[in-house]
Chain A
Amino acid sequence: MAQRSAVALSKGPRFQVSKGLLTVLVSTVVLFILSAVLAPTSVAPGPLGSMIPFAAILAIVGLGQMLVIQQAGIDLSVPGSVSLAAVIVSALPEMEDSRLVPAVIVALVAAVAIGLFNGFLIGFLKLNPIIATLGTNSLLFGFVMLITKGIPRMTTDLLLTVVSGSTVGIPNSVFIATAVLLTVIFVLRKTVPGRRFESIGASAPVAMMSGLRIKTHQAMAYVWAQVLYSIAGIMIAGVISEPNGSMGSAYLLPSVAVVVLGGTSLLGGRGLPTATVVAAVFLSQLDQFVLALGVNFAVRTLVQAAALAIGVAIYTVDWSRVRSFLRKFLSTTRRGEHQTSLPTA
């Protein structure tokens, strides 16, 4: 009995691998093997080098969306936020490297302001996050049009070098995404506000009874998310030298998809940052893979949708019930076969 208690109280292994991380990690490895066998050009240095910055950008956007989703929210202002940051850092500097840093600061300050606005509407006024963030998204596109008039602007050489360059053979975008990931993990797991944030996501009623400031933490999720979208937007401006005002539109569905594929529940709960980042690599490579296969655009879209559906199914379907149903069904069928094979009188 004493032994059983000791086992029950054991802290378990120091490094736990979540089901989400394991699933998406295995899927990604399988995808790369399939890519190497079926479409070798998709893992050639050129396409890989092109895929990695986009995967890094998606990973950062996904981490932002994860912070919101783990508080049982959703942020549909991703396209506007990403586009706004991209146009701010490409339009304001007017190709002058010396003006890049102020432009980056403006983009980040704008992100915080947008996040506070979203957070106030959702955390304090309790507006539906879908409606509130959709409205914010339209507002942001208004600002994008105001800044750009729909005209793409050339970004600065400095930003191009920083984001699209490499250090010791590794694309800089990988370092940026890794730094963002480690920061998110550190804040969520190792700081008091981060752990409070996680516990509110896991169960808001329990956290409320513990005296935690639920509204503030839920509102702050939108602020941190905006900061991450802004970083992603700045990176886009460094990858696409002339970003237009709709660059962020491609990230709305994928930002939710990578969170779901990474195993974070859409109903809120524990966030899985590493799995979200791996899912971003998975989705980006899937894109590159189907592109290299040379299938048409419709099939490409269907493959991506299927990957998302399978990803959602893995985590949401009650597989034990499916198994027991199949077992019952098979045994009934077998019984039926035996009955029909009995000799008739």
Chain B
Amino acid sequence: MIRRRNVVAALSAAAIAALLLAGCTSATDSGPDAAAGDRPDWCGPTEITMGLTDGFGGNNWRLVTTASAQDEIAKCSSVTELLYADGQGDTTKAISDINAMVAKGVKALVVFPDAGPAILPALRDAYAAGVVTVPYRVDAGGVAGEDFNLWVGGDFVTDGKNWGEWTKANFPDGANILFLSGPAGNSQGVDERTGFESVLGDGTGIYKYIGEQPFEVTNWDAALTQKVLTAAIAKYDQIDVIMSDFGPVMVSSLGEFTKSGRSIPALATSDGNILGCFYEDNVDANADFKLMTVATGNDHVRLAVQHAVALATGGVVPTATSFAGPVFEDSTSTDKPVQCNRDIDPWTFLSAQLSGEDQQALLGQ
């Protein structure tokens, strides 16, 4: 009896372990659908198998970004097979995904190194094994030409500069600015801060930075954003501009201004369909509500893909080595009106090259 119970217990434990492992191994293969005729110049003649790895692939932004990468790769018929792996937020898995890609014989590898420098040894090994290795967006450290071919960074300083210039144009007499970013010390927030400080000064002049410095920590989480914003509304009588590097996550918190009997202030942030529609719905009732967004950067991966494919297939290597998100919407100008498409999912990104309808199909609605 005892032995039977032990066997059942062991089987149950094994079943749980198997389920855990099953959840961690979901690399999928997908072949590109290239049109051979009109190949772009970055697509050379050598045929290759290519890999794409994500440190974390489980949200709408990442889904759209991965689909954008597939869309870009599909333009090049020299890429005969594309392998994709999602690290699921697990650094160990992200490292083994990269090693597995090398073992499978990919010739080019584009990596979103979410875990930063922890991924560097795996990148170095891939590069040493002769694989064209292109990390992008997150800085994993290391040196181009020694640890990987090149890092295609995001130009977050330019995003910050764009916010700063818009703030300066709309608040020439000065403003109280609240800056929200993700986890404490994240390099994106630090770079954006550098960008807008280069335009607005260090906070000792007419432009004041309020709240925690260099930014309020929100972890890009809606609940924490709401708490931070509520505390800031109570603490500061005047908030003229909120800068944030993840605009859509603010939507559920902005109602706190209305609850306090104050107008939603000017927002300088990144785009999202949900945010554009929120602006349309609330602009009339909020006298101070202005909105400016920079493209949220789903197309950043396209530049990384172009570099990796060009180097591996013998194509023309692009000259740009970092992705600068352009200004996408500006409610104070007629050139770039705020966009809202109510026919598609609110969590789509209208700034992406991938059409809203394609994103809609991707998100399964």
User: A and B: real partners?
Assistant: yes
Given A125-B5, A154-B346, also A297-B19 (CB < 8 A): no
Inter-chain contact B19/A135, CB cutoff 8 Å: yes
Given A46-B230, A151-B63, also A138-B223 (CB < 8 A): no
CA A241 to CA B274, docked complex, whole Å: 12
Chain A residue contacts of B62, Cβ below 8 A: 150
Inter-chain contact B345/A151, CB cutoff 8 Å: yes
Q: Binary interface profile of A, 307-325, with partner B (CB < 8 Å = 1, else 0)?
A: 0000000000000000000
Q: What is the minimal beta-carbon distance from A266 to any residue of chain B, in angstroms?
A: 23
Given A127-B9, A135-B16, A138-B20, also A291-B228 (CB < 8 A): yes
Chain B residue contacts of A236, Cβ below 8 A: 223
Chain B: which residue is nearest A288 at the CB level? B231
CA A245 to CA B251, docked complex, whole Å: 17
B contact residues, total (Cβ < 8 Å): 44
Stretch at the interface among A13-21, A47-55, A100-108: A47-55
Chain A residue contacts of B213, Cβ below 8 A: 296
Inter-chain contact B63/A291, CB cutoff 8 Å: no
Inter-chain contact B17/A44, CB cutoff 8 Å: no
Q: Which A residues, 281 to 320, have Cβ-Cβ distances below 8 Å to chain B?
A: 287-288, 291-292, 294-298
Inter-chain contact A41/B9, CB cutoff 8 Å: no
Q: What is the minimal beta-carbon distance from B94 to any residue of chain A, in angstroms?
A: 16
Chain B residue contacts of A292, Cβ below 8 A: 231, 234-235
Which of A132, A139, A240, A294 is within 8 Å of B212, CB to CB? A294
Inter-chain contact A150/B231, CB cutoff 8 Å: no
Q: Is the C-beta of A274 less than 8 angstroms from some C-beta in chain B?
A: no
Inter-chain contact A240/B235, CB cutoff 8 Å: no
Chain B residue contacts of A240, Cβ below 8 A: 222-223, 226, 252
Q: What is the minimal beta-carbon distance from A236 to any residue of chain B, in angstroms?
A: 8
Q: Is the C-beta of A34 less than 8 angstroms from some C-beta in chain B?
A: no
Inter-chain contact B363/A50, CB cutoff 8 Å: no
Q: What is the minimal beta-carbon distance from A149 to any residue of chain B, in angstroms?
A: 6
Chain A residue contacts of B16, Cβ below 8 A: 121, 131-132, 135-136, 139
Interface SS majority for chain B: helix
Chain B residue contacts of A152, Cβ below 8 A: 60, 222, 347
Chain A residue contacts of B324, Cβ below 8 A: none
Q: What is the minimal beta-carbon distance from B361 to any residue of chain A, in angstroms?
A: 12
Chain B residue contacts of A156, Cβ below 8 A: none
Chain B residue contacts of A51, Cβ below 8 A: 227, 230
Q: Binary interface profile of B, 206-228, with partner A (CB < 8 Å = 1, else 0)?
A: 00000111000100011110111
CA A240 to CA B17, docked complex, whole Å: 33
Inter-chain contact A46/B9, CB cutoff 8 Å: no
Chain B residue contacts of A244, Cβ below 8 A: 59, 221-222
Chain A residue contacts of B17, Cβ below 8 A: 135
Q: Is the C-beta of B364 less than 8 angstroms from some C-beta in chain A?
A: yes
Given A41-B231, A54-B227, A297-B184, also A242-B251 (CB < 8 A): yes
Q: Is the C-beta of A126 less than 8 angstroms from some C-beta in chain B?
A: yes
Return the 9 tightest CB-CB contacts between A and B, nearest first. Answer: A135-B16, A150-B59, A50-B230, A41-B234, A150-B58, A297-B217, A151-B60, A291-B231, A44-B234
A-B contacts, 30 of them at CB < 8 A, read A41-B231, A41-B235, A47-B231, A47-B234, A50-B227, A50-B256, A51-B227, A127-B12, A131-B16, A132-B16, A135-B16, A135-B20, A136-B16, A139-B23, A149-B60, A149-B363, A149-B364, A150-B62, A151-B347, A236-B223, A242-B346, A243-B222, A246-B221, A247-B222, A250-B221, A250-B223, A291-B228, A292-B235, A294-B212, A296-B213
